[in-house]
Every structure is written in C-alpha cells, then in structure tokens.
C-alpha cells in the first residue's frame, strides 16, 4: 500500500477522551475513531491487525478440531426466556441491548451466544455418535456496558471469538476444555503477549470450572492474585469468594413483582439468621437516581453467626427484581459481639463503606444515613450486587474492585485479602497482586443451558441425557489493543511482528531524488511479491515527518533509501530497538524474510 493513496491521518496530540497509553496511541496513529460511547470504527490499519489476530485464532481453533460458523446477532427473546436469562440480561444487569420489531416481538442483540447455539444443538444433535463437537465464530458482540472505556478494551460493540462445545459427559468436556486451554496458550503466545492463566469466577454465564487469560498490564481492570511459586493464580473475583453450599431458598415461591412487605423481610431475617427487629427497622432505604431505583439493604448480623453468602447473594438478586431496582447495595452491620470479634481485623465491609475509623457504627440505624450519603457521593452507576464478608475473608462476589467501582479513595487494601477456605492457596505463601486485562475466558458450563432448553442426545445405553457443554471466549479487539498496552515507547506503538498491520515500511526521504524513488519502488514490489506486507511512504512530506509517523504506527521494520545508496545499500531500522543496519539492496528481501 502507498501511503500517498491511503486514508492516513495521524494526530500530534493525545485525544482528550483517552486515558491509557494504548488508547491514546491507537487514536493518534489513525487505527481507530470514536463514533459514540464504547463504539469505534476500525480504520484500515486496525482492520488488518484484527484480521491477523483472527487468523491466528482460526488456525489454532481449527487445529484443535473446532469448526467455524456464524450465528445471528439478532436473537429472539423466546430463547433467552427458555434459559431464564432474559430478565437478568435486559433488566437487573442490563447488559443486553433489547429491541422490539414492527410485529411487537422482542429481540436482543447478542452479547453472547449460549442460547442460540443450544437451540441449534437441540435440533441437530441426536446421538452420541455426533459427539463431541465444538463450534466457533468470530463476530461483533453487543454489550451495554456500565462503564465503556479505554477504547477497544471495553466497548459496547466489540469483536469476540466465541466457541461452544457439546460433549458426551464431564470427562469428555474436560478433554475439550484442556484442548481449548492449550489452543488459547498457543494463540496468546503467537500474538506476542505476556499473559497468565488464572482461576476465574464463572459469573453470570454460569457453570463450574473456569479460567481466564490475563495480559499483565497496569491499565488492566482486573486484579490477579498469585504466589511466587507459580502454584496459585486467581482473579480477585474468584480468589476471595467463599465456596459455600447452596440450600433451597425459602423465597423461591415469590412472584417477581410482588410488593415487598414485612413478611418478606421476616423471611429474609430467618433466612439470614439475623434479628428481625433491627432488620425491619432498617432494611429499606430507597434512593432514586436518574437511572432508576437503588435499594439499600442493611442486614444485621449477630456476632456468633456467619451468613451464607451465596444464599445472601441470591436473595439480593431476587429482591432487586421484586423492587425493579437497578441496584441493590447490601451492607452487613455487625452487632456488638460481632464487632468485638472483628476488632482485631480490618472490617469486612470496608470496600463499600466510607470511613472505618474508631467511631465506626454505633448502631445500624445511626450508620444508615451516613452510608446513604456515601452512596450519594461515591457510587454513581454501581449495578452489581455487593455484600460484605463473613469472618473467613473479604469477598467481592459478582463485583470487581477497580472495575465495577470507583473506590480508589477508600482505605482498604485488597492485597490483605484472605483466601477462602477451599482455595488451593498455601497460606504460608504471601499473595502478590498484579493488574491484568482479561483477553480470554474458558468455562465448563455443564448442563445448565442444555437442561433448561431441553437439548438432549441418546447415549450408548439408549438413554436420553442432556448435552454437556463448554464455552470459550477471546476478546479479539481487546486483545489487539492489549498488545499495544504491553508494547510501546515514547515514539509510538511497537507491534509484535505476528499481528502488525504491515511488517515493513519503505521510506523515500526525498521524492525529488530519482534514484531514491527507483530503489524504493523496486524494494516495495519485491518485498510484497515475497509475501512481506509492505507500505511505501511516497508522500510529499519532510523525512522527519515520515520517520515519526512510521514509529508512531509501529511497523516492525523501516527501510530508508537514503545516503547509503551510494554504496548500493539501504538503511534498515528495527522499530523495537531502533537499531539500524546498512544492507545491500539485493539482500534486503532475504534478510527480512
């Protein structure tokens, strides 16, 4: 490609909207343009990078036996109602863009594709002979993120590779999962990323085991806890969540829109084994925000009892839909004996409470207004459900510190977090923490979707059993930007060679010098013919401008047809090291191959 013919515009200044280096650089270097909040155009250079990444993904997925497909982005609500996710995705969590067509039918714009793929499997997979099978696609996803930011890192429209496997049983699923784990490691390695695989929380997708792939970078929105011996690494979302058994909830008979009453509250108290009087007095404070209702629940906890956090979490989710609330904030208020018990430790609810100094809560009712003020000032668009922790550790189930909240002004250090009972962490090892960018996530889903949607097959014994599923995602557009976040200098981007939009840029310093032009044109052709993707900077610009732009856009090698032509040589500069060599013209192609 000739730069003179390309839509090539670089900016001198950092764009005002960009906070992190990779975002600034991609905008400045003309890779992306912001169209709206979390919505970006991929300009020609970016599109080449995205296709490079996609191709690596494709090769590794195909090698692992997966088949490429393309599923619809418009998804009928019926499917999501079958899986039971329509309400949580369109209302409580609100991540899905929902719309109504001219026939008044509800549709969602695909944030993920479990429902669609499970409906296909339900129709087409009949027998164990067809299994296992793994389907993937590379496609735009839509998510109405709470806080779209950092360019492609958290878009509302972004490119994902998602794969879904259908397996005979748990063993068969584990094998596919292992194969995906390996494929993912190959992909990230080939893309030139420094990454870490960590244990993860399965979140709203559901399922049992799950693992994330984190690109280590300061700008990461996730926090990874790990030990130096390498035996433990987990997302903080997972690391501090306590694995507890889930019992049948006493609230399962509640209708969705039922008006809350004392009875509800009493049940909640019984359920949480806490004192009804205090809870009845304090349980509900409604705060109206411009985006809906926020309900604050104060829960009184006796010092001699622990709260089952998983159950609490579930009930809060339910309460949110009862109140049609966008947000539920739950605050555990320990009574005096509980306070004593916790006196020697940092208080567990620290990360959502304002000031945990000595005059901490005298009684829950004193504390409520203070907490509300805090909510007013600090929590702007918190949509996740937050609960405090019990004595075994702090926790952030369903909430990710630093990503879902702006709580940098709080005095709680997550590095002090303790690991839950059953985590594999060796307590004699100190936990370290690092920031990470989640570029991939693999899940063992099990039968959650196949059971809900009736996707079964006939096994070898002739029984009709649910398909056992796994799902595997890679944020293709996020990955591309992460590569920049890991690799840049003061002059611009330094692309890993494998995903650079072009490998070489040939620069003609002076267009009026016919020898410079001839040699450049010749090299440009030979390089392209040899399969080395090459740009030709034939613009009528000063050499300094050309060198600056070449560095900014991060092309791995720059060839300059300058002074050394006299000796039959050109200058070849490596972008990453800025090392320059003089190479004989006839040897250039061989050297760069």
What does the alpha-carbon distance between residue 268 and residue 250 come to, in Å, rounded to a whole number? Answer: 9
From the list 183-191, 267-275, 418-426, 431-439, the region that binds Mg ion by CB under 5 A is 431-439
With binding defined as CB under 5 A, does residue 441 bind Mg ion?
Answer: yes
Q: Which does 440 bind (CB under 5 to 8 A by kind): Mg ion, ligand ATP, none?
A: ligand ATP
**CB closer to ligand ATP, 53 vs 279:** 53
| Segment contacting Mg ion by CB under 5 A, of 130-138, 180-188, 268-276, 432-440 | 432-440
* Options 14, 68, 106, 145; binder of ligand ATP; rule CB under 6 A: 145
> Does residue 154 belong to the site contacting Mg ion (CB under 5 A)?
no
Q: Are 107 and 76 in contact (CB under 8 A)?
A: yes
> Any contact of residue 155 with ligand ATP (CB under 6 A)?
yes
Partner from Mg ion, ligand ATP, none binding residue 155, C-beta < 5-8 Å depending on class = ligand ATP
Spell out the residues 6+ positions from residue 253 whose beta carbon is closer than 8 angstroms to its own: none
Looking at residue 370, what DSSP letter applies?
A: H
Q: Would you say 441 or 478 has its CB closer to Mg ion?
A: 441
CB atoms near residue 255 (< 10 Å):
8
Selected from 43, 57, 79, 160, the binder of ligand ATP by CB under 6 A is 160
Binding-site member from 94, 446, 475, 509 for ligand ATP (CB under 6 A):
475
Total of chain residues touching ligand ATP, rule CB under 6 A: 16
Contacts of 445 (CB under 8 A, 6+ apart): 114, 205, 206, 207, 469, 470, 471
Output the smallest distance, CB 160 to ligand ATP, in A: 5
Instruction: Give the CB-nearest residue to ligand ATP.
Output: 475
* Interface pick for ligand ATP out of 24, 154, 539, 569 (rule CB under 6 A): 154
Residue 238 is a binding residue for Mg ion (CB under 5 A):
no
Pairing state of beta strands 222-226 and 432-446? antiparallel
Tell me the pairing of strands 210-216 and 195-199: antiparallel
Residue found under tokens 């004392």: 262
Among 85, 311, 418, 478, contact with ligand ATP (rule: CB under 6 A):
478
179's tokens: 């194969």
Q: Does 440 bind ligand ATP (CB under 6 A)?
A: yes
**β strands within 316-357, DSSP E:** 327-334
Residue 418 in the binding site for ligand ATP (CB under 6 A): no
Q: Are 46 and 75 in contact (CB under 8 A)?
A: no
In sequence order, what are the beta bridge partners of 558?
505, 573
- What is the rounded CA–CA span in Å between residue 57 and residue 47? 15
Interatomic CA distance for residues 253 and 264, integer angstroms: 11
Q: How many CB atoms lie within 10 A of CB 506?
A: 28
Q: Which residue lies nearer to ligand ATP by CB, 294 or 477?
A: 477
Binding of residue 326 to ligand ATP (CB under 6 A)? no
Residues that bind ligand ATP (CB under 6 A): 112, 143, 145, 154-155, 158, 160, 205, 438-441, 473, 475, 477-478
């Amino acid at each position: 490609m000739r730069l003179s013919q390309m839509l090539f515009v670089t900016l001198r200044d950092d764009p005002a909207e960009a906070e992190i280096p990779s975002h600034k650089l991609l905008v400045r270097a003309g890779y992306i343009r912001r169209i709206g909040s979390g919505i970006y155009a991929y300009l020609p250079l970016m599109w080449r990078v995205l296709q490079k990444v996609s191709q690596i993904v494709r090769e590794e997925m195909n090698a692992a036996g997966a088949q490429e497909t393309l599923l619809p982005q418009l998804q009928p609500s019926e499917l999501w109602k079958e899986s039971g996710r329509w309400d949580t995705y369109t209302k409580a969590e609100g991540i899905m863009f929902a719309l109504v067509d001219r026939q008044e039918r509800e549709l969602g714009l695909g944030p993920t594709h479990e429902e669609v793929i499970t409906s296909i499997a339900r129709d087409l997979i009949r027998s164990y002979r067809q299994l296992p099978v793994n389907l993937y696609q590379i496609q735009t996803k839509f998510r109405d993120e709470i806080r779209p930011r950092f360019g492609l890192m958290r878009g509302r429209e972004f490119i994902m590779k998602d794969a879904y496997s259908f397996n005979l049983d748990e063993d068969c699923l584990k094998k596919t999962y292992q194969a995906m784990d390996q494929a993912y490691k190959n992909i990230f390695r080939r893309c030139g990323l420094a990454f870490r695989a960590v244990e993860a929380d399965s979140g709203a997708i559901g399922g049992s085991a799950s693992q994330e792939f984190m690109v280590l970078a300061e700008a990461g929105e996730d926090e990874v806890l790990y030990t130096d011996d390498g035996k433990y690494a987990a997302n903080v979302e997972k690391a501090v969540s306590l694995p507890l058994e889930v019992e049948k909830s006493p609230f399962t008979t509640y209708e969705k829109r039922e008006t809350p009453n004392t009875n509800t509250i009493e049940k909640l108290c019984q359920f949480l084994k806490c004192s009804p009087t205090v809870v009845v007095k304090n349980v509900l404070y409604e705060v109206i925000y411009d985006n809906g209702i926020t309900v604050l629940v104060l829960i009184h906890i006796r010092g001699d009892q622990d709260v089952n956090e998983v159950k609490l979490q579930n009930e809060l989710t339910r309460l949110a839909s009862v109140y049609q609330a966008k947000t539920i904030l739950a605050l555990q208020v320990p009574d005096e004996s509980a306070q004593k018990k916790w006196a020697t430790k940092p208080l567990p609810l620290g990360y959502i409470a304002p000031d945990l100094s000595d005059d901490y809560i005298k009684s829950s009712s004193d504390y409520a207004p203070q907490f509300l003020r805090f909510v007013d000032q600090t929590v702007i668009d918190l949509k996740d459900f937050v609960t405090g922790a019990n004595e075994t550790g702090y926790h952030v189930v369903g909430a990710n510190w630093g990503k879902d909240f702006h709580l940098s002004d709080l005095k709680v250090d997550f590095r002090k977090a303790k690991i839950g009972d059953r985590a594999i962490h060796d307590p004699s090892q100190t936990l370290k923490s690092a920031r990470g960018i989640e570029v991939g996530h693999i899940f063992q889903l099990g039968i959650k979707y196949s059971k809900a949607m009736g996707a079964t097959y006939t096994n070898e014994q002739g029984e009709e059993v649910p398909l056992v599923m796994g799902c595997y995602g890679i944020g293709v557009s996020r990955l591309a930007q992460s590569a920049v976040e890991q690799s840049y200098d003061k002059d611009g981007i330094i692309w890993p060679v494998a995903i650079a939009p072009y490998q070489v840029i040939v620069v003609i310093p002076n267009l009026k010098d016919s020898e410079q032009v001839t040699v450049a044109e010749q090299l440009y052709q030979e390089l392209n013919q040899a399969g080395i993707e090459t740009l030709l900077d034939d613009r009528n610009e000063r050499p300094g401008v050309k060198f600056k732009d070449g560095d900014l856009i991060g092309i791995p090698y720059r060839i300059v047809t300058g002074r050394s032509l006299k000796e039959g040589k050109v200058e070849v500069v490596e972008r990453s090291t800025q090392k320059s060599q003089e190479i004989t013209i006839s040897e250039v192609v061989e050297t760069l191959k």
